[in-house]
Amino acid sequence: MVTAVLVYYVTKAFLGDFVRTDLSDKTGQTTYFSWGDFASMTAAWCVVGFLAGLVFGLAGWMAKGGQFSYPFRALVPVVVFAEMTMRLSVESGASAPEVVLTWEVVRAVAVVLGVAVVTWTIWRERRSRTQAGIGN
């Protein structure tokens, strides 16, 4: 997650997101790279990425097996669905049609994967009960 954050902010830096106007120049023509903005945003989101990585890593480990594994298997589709729904409700009016379409597709894939997780879980539970002789 930290690597993804670093790549994201370095890409934003190359695209000019951290270029600011020098206010001491009366013409407003002089710009500079704001290392303070770049460093603070990158550091803050690296911390968030590290903590999120720990949480999602633990959730992934807990999804491997055991009594409480199924809710952790559904965690990613649920989070993705919630994020895309939020983006569509807040940002879709100001975004390009391609971006909105991408968010719609990602949300639809999250729904399909969520249904697949639930279906697979039900099928697996029924199969294990049938093999154990329970419910016949």
* pLDDT at position 127: 86
- Whether residue 46 contacts residue 2, with contact meaning beta carbons closer than 8 Å, is answered with yes
Average pLDDT of 80-104?
92
- Whether residue 57 contacts residue 69, with contact meaning beta carbons closer than 8 Å, is answered with no
More confident residue, 20 or 2: 2
pLDDT band, very low/low/confident/very high, at 71 (cuts 50, 70, 90): confident
pLDDT band, very low/low/confident/very high, at 3 (cuts 50, 70, 90): very high
Q: Is the pLDDT of residue 86 over 90?
A: yes
Average pLDDT of 84-105?
92
Q: Is the pLDDT of residue 72 over 90?
A: no
Q: Which residues of 126-135 are buried (b: 16+ CB within 10 A; e: fewer)?
A: eeeeeeeeee
The pLDDT tens digits for 51-68 are 999 988 888 888 887 777
The region of weakest confidence among 5-9, 67-71, 124-128 is 67-71
Q: Where are the beta strands (DSSP E) in the chain?
A: 19-21, 31-33
* pLDDT at position 50: 96
- Whether residue 114 contacts residue 74, with contact meaning beta carbons closer than 8 Å, is answered with yes
* pLDDT at position 136: 52
If you average pLDDT over every residue of the chain, what do you get? Answer: 88
Average pLDDT of 48-53?
94
Token reading at 39? 């460093």
